[in-house]
Amino acid sequence: SPDTLITELQDWASITGAGVDETPYGLPIRFEADVIRRNVEWLTASPISSINFTPIHALDGTITPQGCAFERHHSGAIELTKGDYRLMINGLVDRPLVFTYEDLERFPRENHVYFCECAANTGMEWAGAQLNGVQFTHGMIHNMEYTGVPLRALLNEAGLGAAGDFKDKWVYVEGADASSNGRSIPMEKALDDVLVAFKANGEALRMEHGYPVRLVVPGWEGNMWVKWLRRVEVTDAAVESREETSKYTDVYEDGTARKWTWVMDAKSVITSPSPQMPITHGKGPMVISGLAWSGHGQITRVDVSKDGGITWETARLGKQGDTKALTRFYLDTDWDGAPMLLQSRAMDETGYVQPTKDQLREQRGENSVYHNNCIQTWYVNAEGIAENVEVS
């Protein structure tokens, strides 16, 4: 019988809709209300010092809308006005300086798209398949276009003559919130591509991402992207703060730990199908889609396996990968209705190949917490339901 949605006059085709300005700053239509950040309450002691997850299962393309980009706070998100904002540059500089927000906007600025991944992303999965949803296994990541001033411009403004040889110099960066979350960054990186950013995806940063100003440290772990940035100090040694000793260090099987593991290695994951995105249409044409990224540069290739890594097909990249940014990949395929073990494997411009879980464990054991960039497996059954599994 004919589709009444077509043959009968529908309200929306007859009655007028909402006027302009009904929602002066728009929100997603209510039918998309489940595309939201979520947390896992039992992971942390308090939401004030916690993390939530980007709904990457429900997004496409590469840009993460600010409103659903994951949050990580150590002492809660603060409200800091542009008028009250101050940024101090001090330490081994010729002229210690204080900038207002307005000062920052007078420096030449740049636009770059970068991913920001928490070092603990996928950290629950070291000891085995744990959380059944890509939002929870891989959602500590977002990808935005940042507008800001290169940190090197501000350091030059203060003058680096006093720093002498840059080789053993650092900048120590801290935030204005109660945790202050200080991290030490080698001078070489600080002068390379670090941005002092005030816009994301064209608009002001959200409170939860450090309004009015945050640091962007491309390709390096999210903990270093200090929010509410208030001070940059040039030092001749790493401060070895809590966030770079007791946290964000990687314990190995013999009890020793790696420190200064800043770079986020190449990684990818299939976002659909995945446990939150079952195949609902049955056999036939379908799109397998996912995200790939590398802190070392561009993603050059992503392979997809449907049989747990026995055979691989090279996926299509949505567009050429941006350096240190999310790349979307697609495998346009035909599903015969048989169960699948879906995996994706990223390669970056340095030739680095995303490792399997076994390769990682062989190197590091299972106690690392951070920097788990293993190949993820989804078991998709004949009904199209996907589940987080481990395979031999």
166 in contact with another protein (CB under 8 A): no
CB of 65 to another protein, least distance (A): 16
Whose structure tokens read 């002498």?
164
CB of 10 to another protein, least distance (A): 24
CA-to-CA distance for 44 and 40, rounded, in angstroms? 8
Whose structure tokens read 């239509």?
29
Number of residues that bind another protein (CB under 8 A): 115
CA-to-CA distance for 294 and 348, rounded, in angstroms? 6
Of residues 269-328, those binding another protein (CB under 8 A): 275-276, 303, 307-312
Of residues 117-146, those binding another protein (CB under 8 A): 128-133, 135-136
Pick 10 or 49: Cβ nearer another protein: 49
CB atoms within 10 A of CB 250: 18
CB of 251 to another protein, least distance (A): 6
Pick 102 or 332: Cβ nearer another protein: 102
Of residues 328-367, those binding another protein (CB under 8 A): 337-341, 345, 347, 350-353, 355, 359, 363, 366-367
CA-to-CA distance for 250 and 257, rounded, in angstroms? 5
CA-to-CA distance for 313 and 317, rounded, in angstroms? 13
Pick 179 or 327: Cβ nearer another protein: 179
CB 235 within 8 A of CB 338: no
Pick 258 or 281: Cβ nearer another protein: 258
Task: State the DSSP H helix or E strand holding residue 116, giving kind and residue range, or none if neither.
Answer: strand 110-117
Q: Which of 4, 254, 284, 320 binds another protein (CB under 8 A)?
A: 254
CB atoms within 10 A of CB 76: 14
240 in contact with another protein (CB under 8 A): yes
10 in contact with another protein (CB under 8 A): no
Q: Which of 78, 113, 153, 286 binds another protein (CB under 8 A)?
A: 153
CB of 2 to another protein, least distance (A): 32
CA-to-CA distance for 230 and 249, rounded, in angstroms? 25
CA-to-CA distance for 347 and 355, rounded, in angstroms? 10
Selection from 92, 221, 102 nearest residue 162 by Cα: 92
CB 382 within 8 A of CB 302: no
Task: State the DSSP H helix or E strand holding residue 357, giving kind and residue range, or none if neither.
Answer: helix 357-364
Stretch that binds another protein, among 64-72, 115-123, 244-252, 282-290 (CB under 8 A): 244-252
CB of 152 to another protein, least distance (A): 8
Rg (CA), the chain: 23
CA-to-CA distance for 166 and 376, rounded, in angstroms? 40
Stretch that binds another protein, among 17-25, 99-107, 196-204, 318-326 (CB under 8 A): 99-107
Burial of 163 (C-beta count, 10 Å sphere; 0-12/13-18/19+): buried
Pick 86 or 206: Cβ nearer another protein: 86
Of residues 188-227, those binding another protein (CB under 8 A): none
CB of 330 to another protein, least distance (A): 18
CA-to-CA distance for 116 and 247, rounded, in angstroms? 18
CB of 211 to another protein, least distance (A): 20
Write the single-letter amino acid at 319: K
CB of 95 to another protein, least distance (A): 6
385 in contact with another protein (CB under 8 A): yes
Binding mask 38-77 for another protein (x = CB under 8 A): xxxxxxxxx-xx------------------------xx--
Pick 10 or 381: Cβ nearer another protein: 381
Stretch that binds another protein, among 8-16, 202-210, 262-270, 321-329 (CB under 8 A): 262-270
Facing residues of 380 across strands?
340, 386
293: which 2 tokens?
Answer: 């990224």
Q: Which of 265, 321, 344, 372 binds another protein (CB under 8 A)?
A: 265
101 in contact with another protein (CB under 8 A): no
